[in-house]
Chains A and B, each alone.
Chain A
Amino acid sequence: MVKGYSFSDGIITINRDFTELDLFLKKFLDVLKEHTDYLVVSGFISISSGRTRATEDIDVLFPKLSVGKFKLLFDDLLDGGFWCYQGDISSTVYPYVDNLNSIRFAIKDNIFPNIELVPIDSSRKAKTFEFNNSVLMKVKDFVFRIPLLEFEILYKELALKSKKDLEDAKFLRAFFSDILSSQRFSECKQVILDDINDWRKNDG
């Protein structure tokens, strides 16, 4: 009997075949990686680990780029067979990035699935922590960067808190029970609680 995953040299290898979602993400990251760092976050981590639920998008963080660097990325994504919900030319779309708003890409002539590409900068402390403390996940020969599992779980439990997110967290806690670290949970919890407190202060 083969285990669902293995962990060595800092890489979490999920022992399964590709799904359509993996192939879609791989095609996108093949372009994105040529231009910038990235982090795959949120629901796809749970689904990639075996959680069986519907999704239409995959969330990917990236550091906010200059207008020139973004144009090169945008044009390469279009050449790679993607289209952007927000516009057909980079100058139309860049203001979203500049204002730290998400943009979405799908395969040409399709709507779903799509990539929600989320720009971040140092003003987003929790996102910056998440981005700078990552691990690698591997499915067959496809390797991609994800947050610490402890961060992912706690963010769902403490910040997002929808039924879907709480079930994702339960899944991740059970599936990765052998490799989760109480010390990392403590470190991540403080960062997320500080972030939640910042939101509350800013809201009112």
Chain B
Amino acid sequence: MMGEGIIVSNVPVSDGDYVILFAEKLRDDNSYFKDHKMIIDSQISSSRSLFNDKFSEELKNGNFKDSVRKFLQEIGLLK
């Protein structure tokens, strides 16, 4: 909003604006990589445990690969 006495800055609005803002912060200060590491590691850990839980029985009884392949075919990751 433009108005007398109001300072207008480049406030990010879209997702893309925030992507650029974070890239510029990270470019100039690597301390932001702590947040990056935490989020990437957390996502990998969550994804791993989600699917290991889903196939925990198959891991125990030795049918892991067959069951996973069937699942991957169902979701289109394996032809």
Binary CB contact string for chain A from 59 to 89 against chain B (1 if under 8 A, 0 otherwise): 0000000000000000000000001011010
Cross-interface CB contact of A5 among B19, B20, B27, cutoff 8 Å: B27
> Nearest Cβ distance between residue B2 and chain A, in whole angstroms?
26
Stretch from A16-24, A26-34, A143-151 that touches the partner = A16-24
Stretch from A105-113, A121-129, A153-161, A196-204 that touches the partner = A105-113
User: Are the CB atoms of A112 and B33 closer together than 8 Å?
Assistant: no
User: Are the CB atoms of A110 and B33 closer together than 8 Å?
Assistant: no
Cross-interface CB contact of A85 among B19, B33, B51, B69, cutoff 8 Å: B69
Per the bound structure, the CA–CA distance linking A183 and B32 in Å amounts to 31
The count of residues in chain B whose C-beta lies closer than 8 Å to any C-beta of chain A is: 38
Question: For residues 22 through 75 of chain B, which have their beta carbon under 8 Å from a beta carbon of chain A?
Answer: 22-24, 26-33, 35-37, 39-41, 43-45, 47-48, 51-52, 55, 59, 64-65, 68-69, 72
Which DSSP category, helix, strand, loop or mixed, fits chain A's interface?
loop
User: Are the CB atoms of A16 and B43 closer together than 8 Å?
Assistant: no
> Nearest Cβ distance between residue B20 and chain A, in whole angstroms?
5
Contact of B11 with A by CB under 8 A:
no
> Nearest Cβ distance between residue A149 and chain B, in whole angstroms?
13
User: Are the CB atoms of B51 and A47 closer together than 8 Å?
Assistant: no
User: Are the CB atoms of A175 and B23 closer together than 8 Å?
Assistant: yes
Residues of A in contact with B, size category: 35 or more
User: Are the CB atoms of B16 and A20 closer together than 8 Å?
Assistant: no
Which DSSP category, helix, strand, loop or mixed, fits chain B's interface?
helix
User: Are the CB atoms of A50 and B33 closer together than 8 Å?
Assistant: yes
Per the bound structure, the CA–CA distance linking A104 and B75 in Å amounts to 15
Per the bound structure, the CA–CA distance linking A180 and B59 in Å amounts to 47
Contact of A187 with B by CB under 8 A:
no
> Nearest Cβ distance between residue B65 and chain A, in whole angstroms?
6
Q: From A85, which residue of chain B is reached at the shortest CB distance?
A: B78
Binary CB contact string for chain A from 129 to 142 against chain B (1 if under 8 A, 0 otherwise): 00000000000000
Cross-interface CB contact of A52 among B29, B36, B44, cutoff 8 Å: B36
Contact of B15 with A by CB under 8 A:
yes
Per the bound structure, the CA–CA distance linking A17 and B36 in Å amounts to 10
Contact of B77 with A by CB under 8 A:
yes
Taking A4-B33, A16-B37, A167-B15 as contacts, is the C-beta distance between A175 and B26 under 8 angstroms?
A: yes
Please list the residues of chain B having a beta carbon within 8 angstroms of any beta carbon in chain A.
Answer: 15-16, 19-20, 22-24, 26-33, 35-37, 39-41, 43-45, 47-48, 51-52, 55, 59, 64-65, 68-69, 72, 77-79
Please list the residues of chain A having a beta carbon within 8 angstroms of any beta carbon in chain B.
Answer: 1-5, 15-17, 19-21, 24, 47, 50-52, 54-56, 83, 85-86, 88, 101, 104, 109-113, 163, 166-167, 170-178
User: Which 9 A-B residue pairings sit nearest by Cβ, starting from the closest?
Assistant: A174-B23, A16-B33, A175-B23, A15-B30, A50-B26, A20-B44, A19-B40, A4-B26, A174-B20
